């Protein structure tokens, strides 16, 4: 925990330095300048000097990378780190290995000497366990989640929900295409997490009834406990531990499912969904409060617990160039067999029967099959709003000009007006009809 405290302290100092910067002043110190200031601070501060210098420098490097990526990452400016919430640190390898170029030649410095790069020292104990050397802590055991040993330069140690985790900085190689030519479509939903075009239904694991009851029980006890009491903290920690178990299951399912899709399919097609907008709150504002806020909140929770975004992200990372996004409009109303779009074909949430060709199947499977086949609609959708229809006016001939068309329409309207209008109003209304035609000349006549 001392390494975590030192890393958090150095990070917050860097955040404080950059918060005091204003437009027109000298630029805030960069990574090199902050490392020099860290050396001076370690001379004066005994508590900081007792920590590992590599851990503290890696915290500054993490801050520099976060500062550079504040626009591309979408998280904005680096913020403060808090105790018990941001517990972790990054360690650079203590071993030395020979560095090579991309072509395999030895990497030499300006003096012609061999460059030695850092490497993490890892020893395998058995099939499931290995140990890594952490500065200031010695050898630390961890459980292997991959068959091969990690070969990385740095690793990160974090503490979440009463458990320590270690992650090695390794970019895995993408999974190659099987070469079978199989194209699969995936429809994501709430009832069925991922419905495949071949008829398979994949569901993300959800908390059991007992676990949900335990979470509600812990949350009620925490709400009734006195503010700032140890009982409130303990109950919230127990509820967070149960929720973390649910998150771990969802991540594990997304990893395994994305690996299966990348290994068995050449092309994978997802529906293009804007999940951020789909899960936005409906509470509105004070002036214009929203409606059905609680129902929308429940739908948002149901969507987020399915892991739609993580499944799409991990599949794209494991199979780059082989994942496509299909536009969403009319996909739930389109028949995957004939391409006909009809709102009456969707009998219920799970039943689809095409009114054109009679094709029937599960609605989610039909949508996924449409993604995989790339069927385009042959006709316009019957779900469109009513369109303006012809009023019985004859079509315009190509050789007619605007004046001839105006005279012909005026004669037609004159006859209709004389037939429908009363005798006392016939003459005045007829003049009004001619005035309307003269005020709005026809456009677009050829």
Which H helix or E strand runs over 261? helix 230-264
- Mean pLDDT of the residues in the chain: 81
Listed as ranges, residues in the chain with pLDDT below 70 are 374-406, 408-410, 412-446
Output Rg (C-alpha) for the chain, integer angstroms. 34
The Cα–Cα gap between 106 and 117 comes to 12
Which of these, 373, 251, 380, lies nearest to 307 by C-alpha position? 251
Q: Which residues of 339-372 are buried (b: 16+ CB within 10 A; e: fewer)?
A: bbbbeebbeeeeebbbeeeebebbbbbbbbbbbb
Which H helix or E strand runs over 325? strand 323-326
Q: Are 91 and 54 in contact (CB under 8 A)?
A: yes
pLDDT at position 316 is: 92
What DSSP state is assigned to residue 21? Answer: -
Q: Are 179 and 266 in contact (CB under 8 A)?
A: yes
Using one digit for the tens of pLDDT, what is the confidence trace for 272-288?
888 888 898 888 888 88
The Cα–Cα gap between 206 and 212 comes to 10
Using one digit for the tens of pLDDT, what is the confidence trace for 322-331?
998 888 888 8
Q: Are 122 and 148 in contact (CB under 8 A)?
A: no
Which of these, 76, 71, 69, 77, lies nearest to 11 by C-alpha position? 77
Q: Are 344 and 355 in contact (CB under 8 A)?
A: yes
pLDDT at position 146 is: 81
Q: What is the dihedral of CA 101, 103, 108, 110, to 10 degrees?
A: -90
The CA-atom distances, in angstroms, between 244 and each of 142, 159, 250, 266 are 19, 12, 10, 34
Count H helices and E strands in the chain, helices first: 12, 15
Q: Are 444 and 400 in contact (CB under 8 A)?
A: no
């Amino acid at each position: 925990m001392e390494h975590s405290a030192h890393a958090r302290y150095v990070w917050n100092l860097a955040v404080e330095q950059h918060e005091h910067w204003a437009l027109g002043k000298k630029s805030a110190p960069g990574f090199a300048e902050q490392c020099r200031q860290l050396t001076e601070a370690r001379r004066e501060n005994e508590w900081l000097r007792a920590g590992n210098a590599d851990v503290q420098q890696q915290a500054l490097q993490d801050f520099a990378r976060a500062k550079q990526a504040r626009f591309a990452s979408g998280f904005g400016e680096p913020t403060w780190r808090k105790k018990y919430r941001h517990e972790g640190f990054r360690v650079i390898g203590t071993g030395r290995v020979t560095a090579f170029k991309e072509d395999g030649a030895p990497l030499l410095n300006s003096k012609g000497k061999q460059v030695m790069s850092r490497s993490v020292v890892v020893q395998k104990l058995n099939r499931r366990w290995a140990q890594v050397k952490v500065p200031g802590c010695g050898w630390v055991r961890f459980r292997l989640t991959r068959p091969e040993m990690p070969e990385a330069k740095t690793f990160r140690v974090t503490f979440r929900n009463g458990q320590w985790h270690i992650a090695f900085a390794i970019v895995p190689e993408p999974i190659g295409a099987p070469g079978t030519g199989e194209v699969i479509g995936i429809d994501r939903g709430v009832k069925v997490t991922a419905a495949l075009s071949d008829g398979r239904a994949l569901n993300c694991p959800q908390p059991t009834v007992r676990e949900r009851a335990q979470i509600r029980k812990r949350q009620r006890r925490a709400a009734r406990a006195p503010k700032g009491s140890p009982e409130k903290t303990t109950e919230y920690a127990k509820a967070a531990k149960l929720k973390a178990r649910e998150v771990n299951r969802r991540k594990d399912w997304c990893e395994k499912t994305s690996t299966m899709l990348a290994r068995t399919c050449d092309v994978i097609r997802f529906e293009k969904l804007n999940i951020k907008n789909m899960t936005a709150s409906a509470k509105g504002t004070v002036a214009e409060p929203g409606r059905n806020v609680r129902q929308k909140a429940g739908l948002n929770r149901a969507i987020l617990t399915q892991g739609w975004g993580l499944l799409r992200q991990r599949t794209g990372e494991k199979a780059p160039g082989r994942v496509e996004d299909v536009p969403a409009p009319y996909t739930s109303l389109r028949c995957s067999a004939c391409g006909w779009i009809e709102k009456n074909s969707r009998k219920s949430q799970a039943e689809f029967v095409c009114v054109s060709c009679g094709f029937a199947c599960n609605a989610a499977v039909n949508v996924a099959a449409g993604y995989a086949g790339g069927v385009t609609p042959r006709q316009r959708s019957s779900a469109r709003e009513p369109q303006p229809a012809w009023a019985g006016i004859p079509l315009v001939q190509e050789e007619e000009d605007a004046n001839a068309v105006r005279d012909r329409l005026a004669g037609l309207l004159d006859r209709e007006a004389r037939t429908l209008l009363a005798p006392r109003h016939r003459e005045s209304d007829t003049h009004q009809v001619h005035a309307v035609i003269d005020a709005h000349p026809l456009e677009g006549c050829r």
